[in-house]
Amino acid sequence: LVSAFAVPAHAEPGVSAKSAILMHADSGRVLYEKNADEHMLIASTTKIMTAIVVLEHCALDELVEVDERSAGIEGSSMYLRAGESCTVEELLCGLLLVSGNDAATALALHAAGSMERFAELMNDKARELGMTGSHFENAHGLDAEGHHSTARDLAVLMAGCMSEALPA
């Protein structure tokens, strides 16, 4: 039987990304990698870790007061206004569905009191998951000195998400 999807064993995938990894989520077995341990800017993939940390420290129905530090932050936004209140669940939707930097900031401030303290929580979680090539400086992913990850660490993060979200 011949499959239309068969790829010769010697074929190199055509991956144009500077860094990449394909990892089996359950076993951690690496099937393909390219510069998988190179520190890279991680932009909005940061928000995956933000969501995990928020879910570990907040209840979905908690009310979050949006202040001027969150409203109007640069980049993608759910257009929060200072003085309005949203639930953690609503802000998580804005964080993950529209990549809201304002939602990320509001959640971080609510969960930890400051962006610096929230970044410490993110780094603690990264170490707990075995992410050895990552360092977080903020909850939204805007470029910052020392804010980076690797393809390998992001694969570890996603495998951790899948193991938490899917029934055994």
Q: Which residues are catalytic?
A: 44, 47, 99
What pairs with residue 23 in β-bridges?
30
Residue 99 DSSP code: -
63-65/85-87 β-pairing: antiparallel
Radius of gyration of the chain from its Cα atoms, rounded to whole angstroms: 18
Which long-range CB contacts under 8 A does 17-25 form with residues at least 24 apart? 19/150, 19/151, 20/151, 21/151, 21/152, 21/154, 21/155, 22/155, 23/152, 23/155, 23/156, 23/159, 25/158, 25/159, 25/162, 25/163
